[in-house]
Structure 1
Amino acid sequence: MNKLGIVSHDAGGAEILSHWIKKNYSKNEYIFYLDGPAEKIFKNNIDNKLINEFANCEIGKFIELSDLIITGTSWQSSIERRFIKSAKLHGKKVISILDHWVNYRERFITEGNLILPDEIWVCDEYAKKIAEDKFKNISLKLIENPYIENLKKNITSYMKLNSNLMTENILYVCEPIKDHAKIQFGDENYHGYTEESALKYFLKQIDLLNIDYKNIIIRPHPSENIKKYNWVIAKFSNLNIIIDNERSLMDQIMLSNTVVGCESMAMVVGLVANKRVISSIPPSGRECSLPHKSIEHLKEIL
């Protein structure tokens, strides 16, 4: 039985990896190097007793203990990139999962050099096409997205148990956009907008969208401080705004009729749940990277 070394930091990759492991747990042995949002996500999705953590282990020792390394692809941390580089130096096969549709090459740049794993896994045809365009000489594997498949099952069960569900809210899902831009490009406004400007743009235009709602739920990203968006309540005191990231994402989506954000994976979850989904990227910003045609764009609606 192979021993797989799992390395994860950011939320998107952690959701996919943890659900993949949950589905395939009996087929392999696992050791884990988890940090950031991934720690909570793995412990929520996999029994704590099954998580054999080596978070304080030296990278070389962790790789030595593993037969194969599988990583996420974070932008908030260099952990996965360091493991990819080290695995290649130690002659161990390393696989990385792409969990989004943007910044593919940047996810593998270490100290100015592009260092690719031996194999990349993608979870849909959109991602496969982008990866084929970006990476010409690497093995690509299209896998079923275990996170989305699990969500579909949970949504079906949720609807059966809550047939008279009241969907009275608008859910706004946040992302630390300016942090990403600052790290990658040295300019918080590199993309032509920040998380704050996009949120203001949406809230200023909300009455023009003809959405029936009771509350606007603002859900900070797992990596963001819950207090980051407190300013919104005072600035838009005429609106019923609640800031909450304690309730599960699925609960919040199922209790909403509309999901709004910039280009968050949570918006794709909204599509899976058959919600109206709107991108709030303002006219000054780049185009939304989410390739799903059913997503509406606020700047085109107005």
Structure 2
Amino acid sequence: MIDDLPGPVAVVAHDAGAANMMFAWIAASARNDLQVAVAGPAESLWRAQFPGCSPVPSIAAALEGAATLLSGTGWASDMEHDARVIAARRGIHSIAVLDHWVNYAPRFERNGERQLPDALWVGDEYAAAIARREFGGMTISQQPNSYLENQAREAGPVPREGDVLFVAEPARSSWGYDTPGEFQALDHFMANRTSLGIGQNVGVRLRPHPSDEPDKYDGWIAAHPGVTLDRAASMGEALGKARWVVGLNSFALVIALKAGRTAISCLPPWAPDCVLPHDDIRRL
């Protein structure tokens, strides 16, 4: 789909979600006029997937002479928002990629400044329906989610004696308690997993979020025998050994469904409900 965009094409990404989608499209593209600016988790993903292709040093360099901007819509940085602001001022056609199903409008706001793109690209029918409700007059296009397809294919068949893959993510709330929400969800799962038909003897692998500090879960893992740190290079590889995939609101649960695994949101009862709209995700 990116082969048909007017070029050069500036690609600006920070958070992992949209970066994964965009990088899968880029890997399948024949373009040689991409001007890629990345930081944070997206930079690590880019350097791992395209080791011989250095990104440009800044948003300004990415947008220099560009005819189209393709940007993510993450929370952890102003980078993608700033790129859309500059693109609007310069008359550069702007496309933003929505990789999730929640909080669409705030993704385009920083410090009271709202900057919508010219078009939105989404990866499934759920996201398309939400985007149409939020942004009725905007061009909204559902694109093939190549990243989802690739990761599900890499996972392969469900193993008969598979383990649990816990896909962690920052909850960004303690829900009124003293412990970060992600650790509350972990504890809730460990205390109640037998109600899901998961025996106490089944191994659990914990896969940190790309934005997590490397040692974030070391203490928790050390206190829970049978839990190990997942070190797979990709989500597809991590899913390969799993029969169950557990998380909060992670996109990995959607990949798990696509790969035929049992996907479970383990948000505790005192937390907000799981925001993922997919009916087949079980709620603990």
TM-score by length of 2: 0.90
Report what 1:54 is aligned to.
56
Report what 1:68 is aligned to.
68
Structure 1 Cα separation of the partners of residues 226 and 113 of structure 2: 48
1:91 deviates by: 1.2
Structure 1 Cα separation of the partners of residues 151 and 118 of structure 2: 29
Alignment map for 1:130-279 (pairs within 5 Å): 130-155=130-155, 158-159=156-157, 165=159, 167-178=161-172, 188-189=174-175, 194-212=181-199, 214-236=202-224, 239-279=225-265
One-letter amino acid of the structure 2 residue matched with residue 53 of structure 1: P
Closer/same/farther in 2, CA of residues 65 and 74 from structure 1, 3 Å limit: same
1:141 deviates by: 1.0
Q: 2:27 aligns with which of 18, 22, 27?
A: 22
Q: Secondary structure at the match of 1:204?
A: helix
Structure 1 Cα separation of the partners of residues 268 and 197 of structure 2: 19
1:28 deviates by: 5.1
Structure 2 Cα separation of the partners of residues 87 and 243 of structure 1: 41
Structure 1 Cα separation of the partners of residues 245 and 82 of structure 2: 35
Structure 1: gaps (5+ residues): 182-187
Residue 28 (structure 2) pairs with residue 42 (structure 1): no
Residue 274 (structure 2) pairs with residue 288 (structure 1): yes
1:61 deviates by: 4.4
One-letter amino acid of the structure 1 residue matched with residue 23 of structure 2: S
The structure carrying a bigger helix percent of its residues is 1
Report what 2:3 is aligned to.
none
- The worse-fitting range, judged by mean Cα deviation, of 36-45 and 194-203 is 36-45
RMSD: 2.2
Closer/same/farther in 2, CA of residues 231 and 121 from structure 1, 3 Å limit: same
One-letter amino acid of the structure 1 residue matched with residue 14 of structure 2: H
Q: How many residue pairs end up in the alignment?
A: 277
Structure 2: gaps (5+ residues): 1-5
Kept after mapping to 1: 8 A contact 2:35/2:61 = no
1:207 deviates by: 2.9
Structure 2 Cα separation of the partners of residues 189 and 81 of structure 1: 28
One-letter amino acid of the structure 2 residue matched with residue 226 of structure 1: P
One-letter amino acid of the structure 2 residue matched with residue 276 of structure 1: T
Kept after mapping to 2: 8 A contact 1:9/1:77 = yes
- The worse-fitting range, judged by mean Cα deviation, of 225-234 and 256-265 is 225-234
> Which digits, 9 at most, give the CA deviation of each residue in 1:249-273, with x for residues without a partner?
2222110110000010111111111
Q: Secondary structure at the match of 2:272?
A: coil
Identity %: 32
> Which digits, 9 at most, give the CA deviation of each residue in 1:88-125, with x for residues without a partner?
01111111000010111111102112210111101111
Structure 2 Cα separation of the partners of residues 103 and 240 of structure 1: 36
Kept after mapping to 1: 8 A contact 2:230/2:238 = no
One-letter amino acid of the structure 1 residue matched with residue 214 of structure 2: I
Closer/same/farther in 2, CA of residues 247 and 19 from structure 1, 3 Å limit: closer
Kept after mapping to 1: 8 A contact 2:10/2:36 = yes
